[in-house]
A and B are shown apart, each in its own frame.
Chain A
Amino acid sequence: MEKIIEVQHLNKRFGDNEVLKDINFSVHKGEVVCIIGSSGSGKSTLLRCINLLEKPTGGRIIYKGKNILDDKHNVYQYRQKLGMVFQQFNLFNNHNALSNCVVGQVKLLKRSRAEAEEVAMKYLRVVGMEQYIHAKPKQLSGGQKQRVAIARALSMEPDVMLFDEPTSALDPEMVGEVLKVMKELAESGLTMLVVTHEMGFAKEVSDRVVFMDQGVIAEEGPPEQIFNSPIQERTREFLKRTLNQ
């Protein structure tokens, strides 16, 4: 299978604090990969390093055969190809729901406004927010905001979608609506890399699960292996801790 993103020997330190230590992994086309692990294990940092919101201290990130950490590489064009969904939604507060999905297409992909609106409406329908296109972010609930944020990322028609704990800031009754949308996206064949605390989601939806602990990938494999018969002791302990809650 075609590799979309390959991370080689990735390192990230904040001062003396080494958050990521020699990370190697890749995401293939059409694959849904979930990254799990306790807080502070470096999973969010890894995701943020992949789209360069954090600058890695060392290593390589290969995208379409090129190392995007080369100085010459155009960061802005690369980021257009990665859709990012944040824990705090981060919808553009000065734009309404439709405009949130349109502005990137018009300004960056140079689509006409009519075409961009058509694409935006298509994805707003996918996430079930087509009735709220004129609403400003402050008028929407958390779950609605996150669904619009997903539509915004999809509207750029990226190669891979990155989700950074998309349900962690939501009220419990809103987690379901967002997970449902993500499940549908996963089934549609979208390439997804999801950092999550939702073990049920990871177990059910992902093709592969990556368990991170203290800045390294402690174990990775199909969900059956990770959740039913983990090889590593620390994976077992982590799952015991989280699943017993």
Chain B
Amino acid sequence: MSSEWFVRIITEYWPMFIRGAGITLFISIIGTLIGSLIGLVIGVIRTVPVPERGAKRILLKVINGLLAAYIEFFRGTPMIVQAMVIFYGAAIAFDIHMNRLFAAIFVVSINTGAYMAEIVRGGIISVDKGQFEAAHAIGMNHIQTMTNVVLPQAIRNILPATGNEFVINIKDTSVLNVISVTELYFQTKSIAGNNFRYFEAFFIACIIYFIMTFTVTRILRYIERRMDGPETFTLNQMQVATPEDLLRLDQKTK
């Protein structure tokens, strides 16, 4: 080990590292976003109150059963195996030759979706029952209650868990090298192999991974604080109009 090699690898291969890190970030951001959307939709469906009787009850039970199967299956098998099964399986069984990047995003999304579905369900359950009652009492149906009242609060509550998923995704996209996606781990492996300098190359990758996860954690913490707002309210004693008040007055006079 010598510092020369670090310098050499960085100066020579920095574009490959950057590209790899870029692909890693891209897959994990898109995968986490799509996964969160899947999780939100499933979480909302799984919390629909089941009617006491009728066709709707049977339909809902069937849907809930299918969703539970999806969640259990994708939480219960490793992502590295899912990647192999989906990428090569689709090619053999259905003759679908997926773009590798697309396959990567697909695998990460449905995997994250399975975890997020449970996280969202937990987030919805954790919202005070009185919030549901107040929304129902005012005349909102399940969807309106969710979008206007419950989900905004649930999303705030699950933000730490979602950040966790995001960080896990940044790290776990490395397993996608098995389907030759050129993310950071794959790139590092080629760099290391070309020079027979495994420690130096992977140490650099290690630092890049850490910078990415650490930055993401900080950004999410900042968003959480922004969403929470101040604990106390100070009355505007001077009766100075806020910009919103001025805007409202402006609209009224038009």
Q: Which residues of A contact B (CB under 8 A)?
A: 51, 53, 76-80, 82, 84, 86, 88-95, 103-104, 107-108, 114, 117, 131-132, 134-136, 138-140, 149, 152-153, 156
Contact = CB atoms under 8 A, between A and B. Distances in A.
Nearest to B153: A94
B137 A84 contact: yes
Contacts of A117: 248
B131 to A, nearest CB: 6
Given A131-B235, A139-B232, A79 B252 contact: no
Contacts of A138: 231
Contacts of B164: none
Pick the 4 closest A-B CB pairs, nearest first: A80-B139, A139-B233, A90-B130, A90-B134
Given A84-B138, A107-B148, 15 more contacts: A77-B139, A79-B136, A90-B134, A91-B134, A93-B153, A94-B149, A94-B156, A107-B140, A107-B144, A108-B140, A114-B252, A131-B236, A136-B233, A139-B232, A156-B138
B208 interface: no
A53 B144 contact: no
B34 interface: no
Contact of B139 (A90, A91, A140, A156): A156
Nearest to B150: A94
Contacts of B242: 134
B135 interface: yes
Residues of B contacting A: mostly: helix
Given A91-B134, A94-B152, A136 B139 contact: no
Interface in B75-112: none
B2 interface: no
A108 B135 CA distance: 11
Contact of A76 (B133, B139, B230, B251): B139
Nearest to B141: A76
B15 interface: no
Contacts of B153: 93-94
A92 B139 contact: no
A76 B140 contact: yes
B152 to A, nearest CB: 4
Given A76-B141, A103-B148, A108-B140, A140 B233 contact: yes
A104 B232 contact: no
A90 B248 CA distance: 28
Contacts of A84: 134, 137-138
Nearest to A131: B235
